[in-house]
Amino acid sequence: MTPEKKLSVESYFATIRQITSARIGIGRTGGSLTTDQILDFDLAHARAKDAVNSEFNALAFMNDLQLQLQAIHSGLSWMTLQSGAIDKPTFLKRPDYGRRLHPSSVEELKKVDQNHDLLIILSDGLSAQAVTAQSPGVLKTWLPLLISAKIKVGPILVIPHARVGIVDQIGEILKPRAALILLGERPGLATPESLGAYFTFKPHAGLTDADRNCISNIHSSGMEPDQAAHQLHFLLMESLRTSLGGVSLSEFMATHSEKPELD
Which pLDDT does position 6 carry in this prediction? 55
Q: What pLDDT sits at residue 137?
A: 97
State the pLDDT at residue 5. 59
pLDDT of residue 190: 75
Give yes or no for a contact between 232 and 207, defined as CB atoms under 8 angstroms apart.
no
CA contacts within 13 A on the Cβ side of 31: 0
What the chain holds in terms of domains, given with CATH numbers, is 57-256 (3.40.50.11240)
Question: From first to last of its 263 residues, what are the pLDDT tens digits of the chain?
Answer: 565 555 576 777 778 777 777 777 777 777 788 888 888 878 888 887 877 888 899 999 999 999 999 888 878 899 999 999 999 999 999 999 999 999 999 999 999 999 899 999 999 999 999 999 999 999 999 999 999 999 999 999 999 999 999 999 999 999 999 999 999 998 877 788 999 999 999 999 999 999 999 999 999 888 999 999 999 999 999 999 999 999 999 999 998 866 555 55
Q: Contact, 210 vs 195, CB < 8 A? A: no
As a whole number of angstroms, the distance between CA 200 and CA 244 comes to: 9
